[in-house]
Structure 1
């Protein structure tokens, strides 16, 4: 509490060894007179006040009035040094500088202790030295024996805890900063306890198991057990957002929906790395949001350095790379497909021809296709009409051809179908199926554009020991022969109309 200075006549002078011990004590000591405060409290009690804390909280001036009733009788040398005062008179004349700021909460606690009959109390507060330094102090006060009835002698000691408080404040600020970094990180962060997993793996080693990879293949239930023993300590806000969970209990209650299917194989690889001493890992995995959405994840896993003997503190970061994976897949698709028809493009077609020429499987049949009349349609009605015909051609071939065969657009109006493990009869069946679906497509579009798809088709089959190049040439010749027959039947001059 904040005392006031006593009159000079009230100051006790040292006269014996006890006084010398008081004056030389290595802690700040104050002798104070609380007698007027006691009379004030006794008066309030007589008025019927029962809850002192509530009564003081109603009016801050009541606290100030109580503080003004305290009188400092004497301080020791350590007090003068602590508060940078050259004399007791100087200190007592500047108590308003020492006890400033809002101390009401602390004072109310101290007054309440005395009100409830406790003749000792302890608290922490802030004082100020005369040179302006902030002093965090622990206050201990005791009504001295023999003065219990009037409180006119109270011994108050102040411990300077400034350094400890500053260190604690720094720790608190660091903890808050670290927590904010964790909580508001744009990356999903998990704090996990793998100590039970470590215990399980140690038990396997103790049984003499050395080939862990074989062990978990023979005992897949061990992987399941390890997954169940992971304890999630905490996650951040980005984790809840990424997985669509409203809070941590909802997330933890649905872990089996998040980590499933392919995750088991990834976790088995993670255990294998841990078995081999790799406590920092990264890999790409598949997780699932609570709504069922597939999430492509780049995972980084690290046992903290000071927990390598226990694995009870593991930091896992998950970065959602779903958009990147989709972009990569689309770019890969564009690299192998024709955007207009959605069929494979010439690049992929050439790569597959090279692969088939080396490895087969034989026989390989080729269907060479040319779309009749495309150039004339482009010249007469524009490329939009021609593009529409090409898209229809893509629809026909996509429905006609099933794996392992596949169709490709290899030029403006040129298409091909590669048929691994297919002989001449299979190639002819494929041609018939294409023509059947072509007729159906023409019937469906008859009332829309009025343009019917017409194809020139050539077939060839390459057997083991032959070259695909020669088969391609035969298929092309057969296709051009078929195109010539088309123009002859139509009575058109191909040189004048184009292909």
Structure 2
């Protein structure tokens, strides 16, 4: 008898001091409620509860709390069991209803135990994420008169997991919606190839890849693209990631082989963070000029298993730079080279040749009269036509430039005077065709030619070409019976 009493006292003691929340409840009224519904022909409990929300409240009211332990009172911030019981509507609310349906369905299906994750609320308002485990105690299988329930507070774990998911989503959103193209790639196979070359005794990697360009190609083929973001698809004109990755050979081609060889050389030298400008291609075939930043992520420096590349489209900047460079060396009206380029080219030839150098000085006849009588737009049209003629007639390395209002010059390095005369004939032939094509005001040119054999004779040659041109211009106005001072 004393042994039995002692066992009962020990159970009470252990129940009360257990480190988890324990609830001893009576589910017998719930059992009777279920039996009544079965007698009415109910077979699908979930559907039956969904039809009338009041039925779920009936189930909750059928549960009787018999006893809770100290941990329960502490967890739910209740001064006593009576305080807890009188405030159960504050404890079991909101989010927990879906979880209760799951527990009721387990009991309806004949299970005598169940586990579930749910949400309760402490009396001080704290949300509690709890892991529930329940068991109909032995001897009460028929009426569910005693059910032992344990609640484990997993709020910290749930909130930690939620925060992790939020962080992952935040990182994912930053990746997907970044305003620059992002690529996540696996370079581990590339590292293995480089390690293999190093192990074979190769020290001069730069010479190695020059001798074996196929090694660079193989390394490019071994890169595994793990993911790309939305800006990447927009940049390269792909409707989906699959479309882009299935056409990756159209994106990385041409100049990319040389750029990637430089990238491999940097990796060989241990540079796992790199920046460079490269050229890729959109799926439309258009060149995309890119500022690329390459970085092996810190946790993958041992095998290069995760690499992040950011690509910024600098095509517009490159076009602007090219246009500014063009403007710096070209005359906008005629599209020929300008005076600055002419001076630079003349200085280069003077210092380095080749010799002989022939010079053709050209002046547009009658520009002032056209400007005065028909307006500057008409004069500009004549200048553009001169540009068309010279652009068609003069081929590199010769240089045709507009050096003044109606003054043009052609530099012919490595060309003697006889060949310069042949080019003059070609210019005049082109001019005749141009005048036939453009009805109305014909273009007339005064041309002078001179040659020299060395740098110290260049200035004299330019002067002689000018003098020959002016002489030709004077004859033109004499033939026209016009005072040149008013007709230039």
Normalised to the residue count of structure 1, the TM-score between the two structures is 0.94
Query: Secondary structure of the residue that 1:411 maps to in structure 2?
Result: coil
**Match of residue 58, structure 1, among 33, 36, 51:** 51
Q: Which residue in 2 is equivalent to 1:45?
A: 38
Shift, 1:54, TM fit? 3.0
Q: Deviations over 1:59-78 (max 9, x none)?
A: 33222221121111000011
* Aligned residue among 220, 227, 233 for 1:234: 227
Alignment of 1:219-258 (within 5 A): 219-258=212-251
Question: 1:154 deviation in Å?
Answer: 0.7
Matched residue, 1:488: 478
Q: Secondary structure at the match of 1:333?
A: helix
- How many Å separate the matches in 1 of 2:188 and 2:39? 63
Residue 290 of structure 1 corresponds to 283
**Cα shift at 1:207:** 1.1
Task: Report matched runs for 1:130-209 at 5 Å.
Answer: 130-209=123-202
Aligned to 1:365: 358
Unmatched runs of 5 consecutive residues or more in structure 1:
1-13
User: Structure 2: 5+ residue runs without aligned partners?
Assistant: 1-6
Distance 1:117 1:203 in 2: 64
Any idea what SS the aligned residue of 1:461 has?
Answer: strand
Deviates more, 1:256-265 or 1:484-493: 484-493
When the two chains are superposed, the root-mean-square deviation of aligned CA atoms in Å is 1.4
Alignment pair present for 1:457 and 2:472: no
The reply to whether residue 128 of structure 1 matches residue 118 of structure 2 is no
Distance of 2:462 and 2:335 partners within structure 1: 23
Specify the alignment match of 2:403 in structure 1.
410
Deviation at 1:452, TM superposition (A): 1.2
Q: Give 1:465 deviation, angstroms.
A: 5.3
**Deviations, residues 114-154 of structure 1 (Å, cap 9, x unaligned):** 22222111111111111111111111111112211111111
Note if 1:97 corresponds to 2:90. yes
**Which position in structure 2 is the counterpart of 1:387?**
380
- CA shift, 1:352, in A, is 0.6
Secondary structure of the residue aligned to 2:450 is strand
Distance in 2 of aligned mates of 1:54 and 1:481? 109
Change in 2 beyond 3 A, CA 1:202/1:45: farther
Work out the CA distance in 2 between the residues paired with 1:223 and 1:67: 71
Following TM superposition, by how much is the alpha carbon of 1:15 offset from its aligned partner in structure 2, in angstroms? 5.5
Aligned residues: 482
SS in structure 2 opposite 1:467? helix
**Whole-angstrom distance in 2 between the partners of 1:269 and 1:353:** 36
1:77 maps to: 70
Partner residue, 2:210? 217
Aligned residue in 1 for 2:262: 269
Measured after TM superposition, the shift of residue 476 of structure 1 is 0.8
Deviation at 1:236, TM superposition (A): 0.8
Q: Structure 2-normalised TM-score?
A: 0.96
Q: Can you list the C-alpha shifts for 1:95-125, whole angstroms capped at 9, x where unaligned?
A: 1111111322111111121222221111111
1:42 Cα deviation after fit: 2.6
